[in-house]
Amino acid sequence: MTESKEKFPEVQGGGSLILAWQIKNKPVLVVGGGEVAAGRILNLLNADAIVTVICPAEGLNPEVRHRIAHNQVTHIDRKFEPSDLERLPSPSTPDSPLGPPAMVLTAVDDPAASTQIWKLCQAARIPANIADVPPECDFYFGSVHRDGPLQIMVSTNGKGPRLAASIRKFIGQTLPVGVGDAIERIGLLRAKLRELSPEIEEGPKRMRWMIRVSDRYSWDEMCDLSDEDMDNLLRYYKPNKVPDIDVLKAMRGGTMSPEDIDVFDGSFGFSLGI
């Protein structure tokens, strides 16, 4: 067979498949109530999961007690039982259980008990993470930088959590100020665009136009886009143009329209007047 002359990326084994797991409104079981469990619980609540914590009351740390006191999680005051993998209580309707957990996280100082929970999860086909035991984890928690909708995770595949935290901090410090706000504005613009042109066949054009918009404006310019600016910008979608930011500013107050301005959006190179 003739070997292709094309160059393709080399396979780098030993990594993890890093995904954004949509756990919103899904039941999750946390076994344990110490410092590690508190961090796991916060990650889950940030992702809008429905969290149940199983731990004797004397094993709860102050942060977990706070979550329980403010009804952010459901607490079961006892040790784990195998039947917990079959159903979890509903926070709003205790008589109507939620069903089996979508994932299980353990953070207890009992290796034998943790391994037993791991084996039960494997048998029930429930993804599990056993704290500080990488071989008994279907997934890892990385070190996450968060700025509004922006999430950047650094993972060392369980080899160096402390180093991952240092790398995450370095990345966060190098990002532009206001990047989260810029993403919020772009997200709102995308939502407005889908309302303006919801047809399925418009999908590729919407994507290409949004790429041009994202490439055209700086972070600061994106943050400063008002609702009026976005509405004016959307007027350029049908003719498939992206105006300069100064054009949008000139249109504020309704004093000018796209027809009044000869827009050059950089799509076809440039010309020099001599």
Residues 204-226 have pLDDT tens digits of 999 999 999 999 998 888 888 89
pLDDT given for residue 239 in this prediction:
93
Q: Could you tell me the residue range of the domain that residue 153 belongs to?
A: 142-175
Judgement on whether residues 224 and 161 belong to the same structural domain of the protein: no
Region 184-192 average pLDDT: 92
Work out how many domains the chain is built from and give that number: 3
Judgement on whether residues 146 and 136 belong to the same structural domain of the protein: no
Least confident interval from 123-132, 237-246, 250-259: 250-259
pLDDT given for residue 273 in this prediction:
40
Confidence of residue 257 (pLDDT cuts 50, 70, 90): low
Judgement on whether residues 247 and 211 belong to the same structural domain of the protein: yes
In a domain, 105, yes or no: yes
In a domain, 7, yes or no: no
**CATH number of the domain encompassing residue 34:** 3.40.50.720
Judgement on whether residues 134 and 152 belong to the same structural domain of the protein: no
Region 134-153 average pLDDT: 88
Reported pTM? 0.74
Average pLDDT, the chain: 88
Q: Is the pLDDT of residue 235 over 70?
A: yes
Judgement on whether residues 134 and 146 belong to the same structural domain of the protein: no
Confidence of residue 12 (pLDDT cuts 50, 70, 90): confident
Judgement on whether residues 34 and 94 belong to the same structural domain of the protein: yes
- Is the Cα dihedral 147, 150, 154, 157 positive or negative? positive
Region 83-88 average pLDDT: 92
Q: Is the pLDDT of residue 1 over 90?
A: no
Q: Catalytic residue positions?
A: 132
Region 116-120 average pLDDT: 96
Judgement on whether residues 117 and 189 belong to the same structural domain of the protein: no
pLDDT given for residue 123 in this prediction:
97
pLDDT given for residue 268 in this prediction:
45
Judgement on whether residues 107 and 130 belong to the same structural domain of the protein: yes
Whole-number Å distance between alpha carbons of 75 and 96: 16
**How does pLDDT run across 42-77, given as a tens digit for each residue?**
999 999 999 999 999 999 999 999 999 999 999 999
**How does pLDDT run across 87-113, given as a tens digit for each residue?**
888 887 766 778 899 999 999 999 999
In a domain, 114, yes or no: yes
In a domain, 157, yes or no: yes
Judgement on whether residues 31 and 126 belong to the same structural domain of the protein: yes
In a domain, 71, yes or no: yes
